[in-house]
Amino acid sequence: MHRRIIAPGALAAASLLLAIPASAASLSPGAPGIGDPYYPDYGNGGYDVSHYDLRLQYQPKTDELQGTATILAKTTQDLSSFDLDFLLNVSEVRVNGAQASFATSGQHELVVTPKTPLAKGAAVTVVVRYSGVPSAKSAYGFTTWHRTPDGAVAADEPEAAWWWFPSNDHPSDKATYDVSVAVPDGTQAISNGTLQSTSSKLGWTRYNWRQNKPQATYLATLALGRFDITTSTSDGGVPVINAYSKDLGDNDGAARASVERTGELVDWLSGYFGPYPFSTAGGYVPNTTTGYALETQTRVYYSPKQFANGSNTSVVVHELAHQWYGDDVSLKDWKDIWINEGFARYAQWLWSEHEGEGTAQELADYVYASHPADDAFWTVKPGDPGPDDQFDIAVYDRGALAIQALRNEIGDDAFFAVLKGWPKEHAYGNASVADFQRYAEQVSGKPLAALFHTWLFQPSKPAAPAAHTASLVKAGTTVTQPKSWKRIEATNDVHGH
Ligand SMILES: [Zn+2]
């Protein structure tokens, strides 16, 4: 053995190099957040999921959920460990077949350390076995798992997955899904996409749902309860699957009179947005006490309260518009929420126009005139509203007003080409407000930076543009409320957190 005399500092460095394999020099844990400026710990760093396979069993009496999630992913960096977002009790985690160690951390992190570190670009299969009572779990003091008298519903944004499956919970990591759920006979399980099959054994019925197009985690939904399931096909050939709680009481008729028009409305929206992007459409109405609706992919969630005053096709149009604006093309970060809510609201304005209950311009005029310059409404920037105002009414109404300003600026031909071209341009992907501006400039051939700044980013009431003073009324003018106004405003996917 030869002993060399070297300086202490060099010795430490040499030991370090000997202790760690050369390839592991860049090994590090995946970040506990994917980098969203509004929600720093949402999603995770270091990998990208392509598929979730969820095999679940649910007992409505006790709200007990148990399951096995098999997650197919690819690493985007060398990883010593990585996080999943999850709240239920985990009994076992396997990575590429081998048992992995795991621990909880932060509000909703499951930290997984595989036996063997993972190299960048590797295909990874993660199996998580778990169980728990979702309604007993909370993070940041809230739960988005909503119990009903006969079951439960998972449908919320910006987070809902934590309560029922481990995930990389951020819209920028979209994946396909197989969701298989066993429930006691007489209970139904509703999820996204196509119902592949059902089977019954020993008092339990299993529902096998498949979402074969990329889907953001917050758009994955699960409803468990006693449902009446209806099926039909639109004139345009889109299969429709709807479900209604058997306990909707007085709201039952109005709910069906609205949601059963899904096929007709999907076809109508296709005229503006292009071909429907998914294999099925539809919605479900559970007997929840929550008040909102949500654009859960292919299977929209509607609170029965949306139909408490009679049928409401406006809310159906809003949520179906999201299937293109939000679900097919998803936001890159939560600050891009205008792409979702501005356009879904604008679709309601187009429907109002179609129904003869007020044109989009009349609705824009009404929004502009009904908020004086000192109204806090104008301090919300739809293009970057901040996490506290992400679902503020201004994101919807001022957001749609911005779209009418764009229409006036570039003219109907270019405007409707943009509306229809955008979902094709970013099909099944993610895009930002800046991407939308660039696309509208490309299609229209007009520079639009000033217009986007004024209507989406200026924290004060925009002046009525000189070229459109005739159409955009001045502050203080009384404008007649369009007939569709109240129903449009009653639609919301606004949440308590
Ligand atoms: Zn919406």
How many whole angstroms from 337 Cα to the centroid of ligand 1?
9
Q: How far is the CA of 324 from the centre of ligand 1 (A)?
A: 12
C-alpha to C-alpha distance for 109 and 85, rounded to whole angstroms: 5
Give residue 433's identity as a one-letter amino acid code.
V
Going by C-beta distance under 8 Å and a sequence separation of 6 or more, which residues neighbour residue 329?
Answer: 339, 422, 423, 425, 426, 427, 429, 430, 431
Tell me, in angstroms, the distance from the centre of ligand 1 to residue 331's CA: 13
At 384 the pLDDT is: 98
Separation CA 178–CA 123 (nearest Å): 19
Expressed in angstroms and rounded, the spacing between residue 294 Cα and the centre of ligand 1 is 7
Contact of 79 with 202, CB cutoff 8 Å: no
Whole-number Å distance, alpha carbon 390 to ligand 1 midpoint, is 11
Measure the CA–CA gap between 216 and 184, rounded to whole angstroms. Answer: 29
CA of 303 to the centre of ligand 1 (A): 13
CA of 448 to the centre of ligand 1 (A): 25
Q: HSE of 469 in the Cβ direction (CA atoms, 13 Å)?
A: 3
**What was the pLDDT predicted at 96?**
98
The Cβ-side half-sphere exposure at 194, using a 13 Å CA radius, reads 12
Q: What is the DSSP string of 21-53?
A: -GGGTT-EEPPSS---SS-TTSS-SSEEEEEEE
Do 179 and 192 contact (CB within 8 A), yes or no?
A: yes
Cα 197 to averaged position of ligand 1 atoms, centre (Å): 31
Cα 232 from chain centre: 25
Q: Kindly give the distance from the C-alpha atom of residue 340 to the centroid of ligand 1, in angstroms, as a whole number.
A: 6
- Closest of 261, 268, 357 to residue 302, by C-alpha: 261
pLDDT in tens, 85-143: 999 999 999 999 999 999 999 999 999 999 999 999 999 999 999 999 999 999 999 99
Residue 279: CB atoms within 10 A of its CB come to 14
Mapped onto helix, strand or coil, the DSSP state of residue 251 is helix
How far does residue 493's CA lie from ligand 1's centre (Å)?
A: 5
CA 8 – ligand 1 centroid, Å = 63
33 Cα: distance to centroid of ligand 1 (angstroms): 25
d(CA 400, CA 342) in angstroms, rounded, equals 5
pLDDT score for 491:
75
- Longest C-alpha distance within the chain, in Å? 95
pLDDT of residue 27: 83
Continuous segment of H or E residues that includes residue 264: helix 262-273
Q: How many residues does the chain have?
A: 497
C-beta separation of 211 from 470 below 8 A:
no
Phi, psi values for residue 451, rounded to 5°: -65, -45
* Rounded distance from Cα 44 to ligand 1 centre (Å): 25
In sequence order, what are the beta bridge partners of 129?
68, 92
How many whole angstroms from 474 Cα to the centroid of ligand 1? 28
Distance CA 438, CA 455 (A): 16
Q: Mind listing the pLDDT tens digit of every residue in the chain (497 residues)? A: 333 333 333 333 333 444 444 455 568 999 999 999 999 999 999 999 999 999 999 999 999 999 999 999 999 999 999 999 999 999 999 999 999 999 999 999 999 999 999 999 999 999 999 999 999 999 999 999 999 999 999 999 999 999 999 999 999 999 999 999 999 999 999 999 999 999 999 999 999 999 999 999 999 999 999 999 999 999 999 999 999 999 999 999 999 999 999 999 999 999 999 999 999 999 999 999 999 999 999 999 999 999 999 999 999 999 999 999 999 999 999 999 999 999 999 999 999 999 999 999 999 999 999 999 999 999 999 999 999 999 999 999 999 999 999 999 999 999 999 999 999 999 999 999 999 999 999 999 999 999 999 999 999 999 986 545 555 555 445 678 998 988 888 876 544 33
Taking the centre of ligand 1 as the mean of its atom positions, its distance from the CA of residue 310, in whole angstroms, is 20
| Spacing, Cα 314 to ligand 1 middle (Å) | 11
Separation in Å, CA 144 to CA 52, 85, 291: 20, 14, 13
